[in-house]
Amino acid sequence: MMPHVAVNLIYVGWENFTDTDKAVVNAACWATRQTYWQVGFDIFGFDAYSISVADAQGYAYIDSDAEATWLTSDYTIPGRSVDVFLVKGYATSTAGLSPVPGPCNKYLTYPSMTGSVVELIGAGTNVAMPHEIGHYLGLHDDYSDPTNLMYYTVSSGGPSGLPVLTFAQGAQMAQHCFTSLP
């Protein structure tokens, strides 16, 4: 077995997600697995949870990083999985937000961030999702290699190839408390 990390997908404002959006999420899950397999890491689970539009209220559209942080405080799925909150809109130029590294205790509250928030941005989601999970597992942004998964900006057109992870990055993520070692 490979080192492995489980992920929960939490759809924020479930009724707003179209079939096209769900296909984007599916593609991003597959891209996430392929990206991490490069360094012998398995990202698995992708158990789906939903927050209705009525319950999500303002969270269905994220206006600020503080709001994204509150979102992760207000909802927690028990267990050692990375909670990935999927939102259809995020009002900054970034495609998501995550703590670096994410805490082991997901019941901490604001200003602690206890999950990753990922905006659906079409094909770019194929990088945004694994990038935000990388932050939670302890990886910082990279400012030198545009092919690296952790390059600080995500092209909205999506990647031209599979984003790169280095073995040093894999070794770093192996130390996170949510990583199960074989």
> In whole angstroms, how close is the CB of 119 to Zn ion at the nearest point?
12
Give the total of residues touching Zn ion (CB under 5 A).
1
Angstrom distances, CA of residue 64 to CA of 58, 90, 104, 105: 11, 7, 24, 23
Peptide bond into 182 cis (omega under 30): no
User: What is the helix, strand, coil percentage profile of the chain, to 5?
Assistant: 35, 25, 45
The residue (of 20 and 156) whose beta carbon lies closer to Zn ion is: 156
The Cα 106–Cα 108 span in angstroms is 6
Contacting Zn ion (CB under 5 A), which of 47, 63, 141, 145?
A: 141
Q: Give residues with Cβ within 8 angstroms of 179, minimum separation 6.
A: 3, 4, 5, 137, 173
Candidate segments 41-49, 70-78, 84-92, 136-144, binder of Zn ion by CB under 5 A: 136-144
The residue (of 134 and 170) whose beta carbon lies closer to Zn ion is: 134
Candidate segments 10-18, 24-32, 57-65, 140-148, binder of Zn ion by CB under 5 A: 140-148
Candidate segments 9-17, 32-40, 134-142, 169-177, binder of Zn ion by CB under 5 A: 134-142
Q: Which residues contact Zn ion (rule: CB under 5 A)?
A: 141
